[in-house]
Homo-oligomer: A and B are copies of this chain.
């Protein structure tokens, strides 16, 4: 593959990456702000030749990963959404956690968040919010920074040292309204998070809020997700929320098979379809 057109001796290929990755990178160009892209946008953003982009986009469309609108633009397809709903760390934890999130929400009537780690970010898996609660910055499916959010700090505190080092090395601190925390302070904060079993983060933007997050453990003891509640500052003091959030997080962990005679839970659905698989 990869030719130089008609003239010989020209630059061969677009990238050193395999076709499959290049095709997937097209999917990666879609964002919250850019939910529909035309061919030239896709081509430009992904850095691929138009002809190549067209062919790949067609293959993706053929399978259902993309859909083509009548105006020629492409959007992410339902088929992809369908497959993605099988993601254990996506809809999987969500299904198990949902009832507990609802309990927490019913009791407090504030925002309740569930997030998992993906690379050096957190991804928001679910959010319950009343229309009257304070404004929140993040949407389901969106990414959150690890440094400046409560869920992020919980996930970071329990992550491997390599990841922590990577995050510390990042520029960071640019998040508005959270006060750019010096690297040393953050390291200390993470230690505190690990000991206390909860992270407390204050923000001033987009509104004055306090977030309290706690870790959710999987069957093997790893931290697989973080649960958090976001309340307006000056509401219930944080130290009263900590036990509430920790208790809910523990309940979810137990349902995931944590410390429960290694029942397998969502890590072994074929043998024990008890936990994740069912329709509640």
Copies per assembly: 2
Q: How far is the CA of A93 from the CA of B161 in the complex (A)?
A: 40
* 22 residue pairs bridging A and B, Cβ less than 8 Å apart: A1-B1, A20-B23, A23-B23, A24-B59, A24-B63, A24-B65, A30-B86, A35-B88, A35-B92, A36-B267, A36-B269, A64-B119, A75-B86, A75-B87, A75-B88, A76-B84, A76-B87, A77-B89, A82-B123, A82-B143, A84-B141, A142-B279
Docked-complex contact A77 and B87, CB < 8 angstroms? yes
A164 adjacent to chain B (CB < 8 Å)? no
Q: How far is the CA of A56 from the CA of B272 in the complex (A)?
A: 28
Docked-complex contact A79 and B118, CB < 8 angstroms? yes
Docked-complex contact A80 and B87, CB < 8 angstroms? yes
> Please, which residues of chain B bring their CB within 8 A of the CB of A83?
27-28, 30, 76, 80, 84
| Shortest 8 CB-CB contacts between residues of A and residues of B | A85-B141, A81-B90, A84-B84, A139-B279, A20-B59, A76-B87, A81-B84, A24-B63
Residue ranges of A at the interface with B (Cβ–Cβ < 8 Å): 1, 18-21, 23-25, 27-28, 30-36, 56, 59-60, 62-65, 67, 69, 71, 75-92, 116, 118-119, 123, 129, 131, 136-143, 266-270, 273, 276-277, 279-280
Q: How far is the CA of A104 from the CA of B25 in the complex (A)?
A: 40
Which residue in chain B gives the minimum CB-CB distance to A140?
Answer: B85
Q: How far is the CA of A71 from the CA of B264 in the complex (A)?
A: 12
Which residue in chain B gives the minimum CB-CB distance to A22?
Answer: B20
